[in-house]
C-alpha cells in the first residue's frame, strides 16, 4: 500500500432510511475539513448489516447530498439513474468489498495469531447469559467461554458446524490487562481499561464483517487519515485501536463530534420534531441555510460572524473550534438564519425559489407575470423565515381572500364607522387615476411599486384628513379587505402590488366585498 500524508476523510453511512440531521453534520464536517486542508473526501457505504437495509436509501442519500452541495471526490454516484462508483480505492460499497475476501482474510489471520477466536455459542445461550448479567446489574458482555477452548475442542466444534452447514462467528480477543488511550482531536486523551471491553464479534456467521472489523480494514486500505464521527462511537474506538494494533497497522486520527440534542437536552427523535434533512428542505429551508445552521451545531468560529457562505466555512473550518458540549438544535436560530439569507436575495432570486412552494399551495403562478411575482417576493422578503410560509401568506395576491367580517373593525372603531370608511375608499379608488399601472413594464418592479405605493398613501391620507378620520379606522379595514389578514405588508404596498397585475378594479372589488360583509 502506498503511504501518503495526504488528508483523506470519509463519510460512511448505512443505507437504512432518511438522511439524519446528525449524519448531515458528520458529512459536512468531514467535507469541510478535507477541503480546508486541500485533501480528499470520499463516500463509503456500510451495508454489512443486510437486515437493516432499506431499498432506495442510497439513491435518496446521494440526491440529498447533491442538493446540499456536499461533494465527494470518490465513491458512489448516480448517472442516468444508475449507481456508479469513482476512485482508485473501490469498491466503495462494503457488500461488494466482501467479495474481495479482505474481511475474511484478516479475521482468519487474527485467529491464526490467537488474537481472535471462533465462537460456537448459540443465540439461546447468549440470551440467557445477558439476562443473568442484567439481573446481577452487570454490563452485558460475552463471558469468553469459547476463548478458552482447547485446540481439540475447536476442531470438533468446527467439524460439527460444518456437518450442519453452519459457520461459527469470530470474536476479537481483547487483551485482558492494560489500558487503551484514544488521542481524540476534540476531547483529548480518553483512557479505557481493557478489562471493561467486550470480545466483540468481528466476522458473522454469514461471512459479513461487523462494523468493528470492516471499519478498520476499509479505513486502512482506503488510506483514510482522519475519521470524523459522532461521540456515540467513542466507546467503540478503543476496540478499533486494538484491532489496528493486532494487525500491525497505523491507526487513523479520530475526531468525535458532540451530540445534537433537543432544547430540553433529550436525544433527537422523530417524535419530538423533524430529524430528516428532507423534512427541512420540504419545509422551505434552502440548502445554504441548512449548511450554515448545521455547521454551528457544535462548531464555534470564535468570532461574532454567524452567517457564512460555503466557501467561507471551508476557509475558516478548524477541528480545534469544535465544542465538547452537546449542541442544542434551536429552530428559532434556524428561522433567524433563514430570514437573514432571504433578505440578501433580490426579488427575482426569491421569486424563483418560491415558485415550487406557490405551486404546492395550489397557486398557478404561470398565469401571472414575472414582474408581479418579483414584486410580491420583494414585498415579503423582510418577513419570511422559510420559503414554505409563502403559500398562505401571499394567497391574497392571487385570489380574493375569505375572512370573518369582525376582522375588518379597528379596535377603536365600530361597524358603522368601518362601513363608511370602506365606502369612502371605494369612491376614492374609483376616482384615482391609476393609468400608470397599465404601464407596469419597468425593469425594476421594486422602484415601480414603491412609487405607486407612495402615491396611494398620499391620496388615502388626504381623504383621512379631509373626513377627519383617524388612521387606524381607515388603514386597518383597508389592509384586511385586501389581504384577509391581520398581519401583512402595509396596505399601500399591497394595493400597489395588486394593481400591478390585476388593476384598480380588483382593489375596488375587494373593498365592495368588505362593505357587503359588514351588512
Identify the pLDDT of residue 3: 43
pLDDT, one tens digit per residue, over 334-387 is 999 999 999 988 888 889 989 999 998 888 888 888 889 998 988 888 888 988
| Phi-psi category of residue 516: left, alpha or beta, with phi > 0 → left and psi -120 to 50 → alpha | alpha
Phi, psi (rounded to 5 degrees) for 494: -65, -45
Residues 18-32 have pLDDT tens digits of: 899 999 999 999 999
Residue 21's Cβ-count burial label (10 Å; 0-12, 13-18, 19+) is buried
- pLDDT of residue 447 exceeding 50, the answer is no
β-bridge pairing 40-43 and 8-11: parallel
Say what the pLDDT of residue 454 is.
86
Name the segment(s) of the chain with CATH classification 3.40.50.620: 8-96+260-328, 101-257
For 8, phi then psi, to 5°, come to -135, 115
CA angle 224, 232, 251 (to 5 degrees): 25
User: Residue 475, Cα to own-chain centre: how many angstroms?
Assistant: 42
Name the residue with higher pLDDT: 53 or 460.
460
- Asked if 214 and 48 touch (Cβ cutoff 8 Å), the reply is yes
The stretch 499-510 carries a mean pLDDT of: 89
- How many CB atoms are located within 10 Å of the residue 20 CB? 18
Residue 501 has pLDDT above 90, yes or no: no
Write the DSSP symbol of residue 165. T
What number is the average pLDDT over the span 480-487?
Answer: 93
pLDDT of residue 278: 92
The fold of 400-519 is Arc Repressor Mutant, subunit A (1.10.10)
In the prediction, which pLDDT does 441 show?
40
pLDDT at 435 over 50: yes
Local structure of residue 127 (DSSP, 8 states): H
Tell me the pLDDT band of 2, cut-offs 50, 70 and 90.
very low
- Evaluate if residue 162 carries a pLDDT over 50: yes
Structural contact between residues 23 and 3, judged by C-beta atoms closer than 8 angstroms: no
Write down the CATH number for the domain with range 101-257: 3.40.50.620
Model pLDDT, residue 275? 85
In this model, does residue 68 exceed pLDDT 90? yes
Query: What digits encode the pLDDT tens for the residues 129-161?
Result: 999 999 999 989 999 999 999 999 999 999 999
- Once rounded to an integer, what is the mean pLDDT over residues 48-66? 86
Grid cell 466483540 — which residue? 200
| pLDDT tens figures, 299-333 | 999 899 999 999 999 999 999 999 999 999 999 99
Cell numbers linked to 48: 454489512
The answer to which of 12-21, 267-276, 353-362 has the lowest mean pLDDT is: 267-276
- What are the C-alpha distances in Å from 110 to residues 53, 162, 372? 29, 21, 71
pLDDT at 389: 86
- Catalytic member of 270, 324, 412, 458: 270
Q: Which helix (H) or strand (E) holds 180?
A: strand 179-184
Interatomic CA distance for residues 418 and 518, integer angstroms: 8
| Average pLDDT score, the chain | 90
CA distance 78 to 45: 14
CA distance 397 to 132: 69
**In the annotation, is 270 catalytic?**
yes
pLDDT at 508 over 50: yes
What's the average model confidence in pLDDT over 466-493? 93
Average pLDDT of span 160-181? 95
Strand 116-119: give its sheet, edge to edge.
Answer: 116-119, 169-172, 201-203
pLDDT at 432: 80
pLDDT-above-90 percentage for the chain: 70
Instruction: Identify the sign of the CA torsion 32, 254, 117, 248.
Output: positive
Strand partners, 75: 86
Which one has a higher pLDDT value, 133 or 391? 133
Q: Would you state the pLDDT for residue 1?
A: 37
Q: For 283-306, what is the mean pLDDT? A: 93
**Percent of the chain, pLDDT > 70?**
94
| 3-state secondary structure (DSSP) of residue 177 | coil
Written as nine digits, the cell of 433 is 387615476
pLDDT for 440: 39
Q: Is the pLDDT of residue 445 over 80?
A: no
Res 270: pLDDT: 59
Predicted pLDDT at 274: 66
Instruction: Return d(Cα 22, Cα 229) in angstroms, integer.
Output: 10
Nearest to 292 by CA among 325, 262, 316, 269: 316
Q: Which three cell numbers stand for residue 118?
A: 471462533
Is CATH 3.40.50.970 correct for 8-96+260-328?
A: no
Amino acid at each position: 500500500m502506498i503511504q501518503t500524508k495526504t488528508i483523506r476523510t470519509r463519510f460512511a453511512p448505512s443505507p437504512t432510511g432518511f438522511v439524519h440531521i446528525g449524519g448531515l453534520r458528520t458529512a459536512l464536517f468531514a467535507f469541510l475539513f478535507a477541503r480546508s486542508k486541500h485533501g480528499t473526501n470520499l463516500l463509503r457505504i456500510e451495508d454489512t448489516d443486510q437486515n437493516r437495509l432499506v431499498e432506495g436509501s442510497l439513491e435518496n442519500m446521494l440526491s440529498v447530498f447533491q442538493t446540499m452541495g456536499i461533494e465527494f471526490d470518490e465513491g458512489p454516484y448516480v448517472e442516468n439513474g444508475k449507481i456508479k462508483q469513482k476512485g482508485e480505492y473501490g469498491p466503495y460499497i462494503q457488500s461488494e468489498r466482501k467479495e474481495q475476501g479482505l474481511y475474511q482474510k484478516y479475521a482468519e489471520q487474527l485467529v491464526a495469531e490467537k488474537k481472535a477466536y471462533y465462537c460456537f455459542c448459540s443465540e439461546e445461550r447468549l440470551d440467557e447469559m445477558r439476562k443473568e448479567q442484567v439481573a446481577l446489574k452487570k454490563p452485558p458482555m460475552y463471558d469468553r467461554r469459547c476463548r478458552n477452548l482447547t485446540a481439540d475442542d475447536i476442531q470438533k466444534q468446527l467439524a460439527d458446524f460444518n456437518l450442519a452447514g453452519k459457520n461459527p462467528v469470530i470474536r476479537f480477543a481483547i487483551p485482558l490487562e492494560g489500558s487503551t488511550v484514544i488521542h481524540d482531536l476534540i476531547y483529548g486523551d480518553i483512557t479505557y481499561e481493557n478489562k471493561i471491553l467486550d470480545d466483540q464479534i468481528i466476522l458473522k456467521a454469514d461471512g459479513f464483517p461487523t462494523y468493528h472489523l470492516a471499519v478498520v480494514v476499509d479505513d486502512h486500505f482506503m488510506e483514510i487519515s482522519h475519521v470524523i464521527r459522532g461521540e456515540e462511537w467513542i466507546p467503540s474506538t478503543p476496540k478499533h485501536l486494538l484491532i489496528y494494533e493486532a494487525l500491525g497497522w497505523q491507526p487513523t486520527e479520530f475526531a468525535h463530534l458532540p451530540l445534537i440534542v433537543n432544547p430540553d437536552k433529550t436525544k433527537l427523535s422523530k417524535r419530538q420534531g423533524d430529524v430528516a434533512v428532507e423534512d427541512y428542505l420540504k419545509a422551505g429551508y434552502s440548502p445554504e441555510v441548512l449548511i450554515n445552521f448545521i455547521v454551528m451545531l457544535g462548531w464555534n468560529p470564535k468570532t461574532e460572524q454567524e452567517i457564512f457562505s460555503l466557501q467561507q466555512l471551508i476557509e475558516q473550518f478548524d477541528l480545534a473550534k469544535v465544542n465538547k458540549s452537546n449542541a442544542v438544535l434551536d429552530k428559532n436560530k434556524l428561522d433567524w438564519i433563514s430570514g437573514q439569507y432571504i433578505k440578501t436575495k433580490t426579488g427575482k432570486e426569491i421569486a424563483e425559489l418560491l415558485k415550487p412552494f406557490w405551486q404546492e399551495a395550489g397557486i398557478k403562478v404561470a398565469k401571472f407575470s414575472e414582474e408581479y411575482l418579483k414584486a410580491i417576493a420583494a414585498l415579503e422578503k423582510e418577513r419570511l423565515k422559510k420559503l414554505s410560509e409563502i403559500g398562505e401568506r401571499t394567497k391574497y395576491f392571487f385570489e380574493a381572500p375569505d375572512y370573518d367580517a369582525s376582522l375588518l373593525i379597528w379596535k377603536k372603531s365600530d361597524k358603522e364607522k368601518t362601513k363608511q370608511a370602506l365606502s369612502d375608499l371605494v369612491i376614492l379608488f374609483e376616482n384615482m387615476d391609476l393609468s400608470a399601472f397599465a404601464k407596469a413594464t419597468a425593469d425594476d418592479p421594486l422602484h415601480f411599486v414603491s412609487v405607486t405605493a407612495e402615491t396611494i398613501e398620499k391620496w388615502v391620507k388626504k381623504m383621512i384628513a379631509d373626513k377627519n378620520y383617524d388612521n387606524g379606522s381607515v388603514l386597518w379595514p383597508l389592509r384586511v379587505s385586501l389581504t384577509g389578514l391581520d398581519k401583512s405588508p402595509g396596505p399601500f404596498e399591497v394595493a400597489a402590488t395588486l394593481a400591478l397585475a390585476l388593476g384598480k378594479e380588483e382593489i375596488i372589488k375587494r373593498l365592495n366585498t368588505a362593505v357587503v360583509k359588514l351588512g
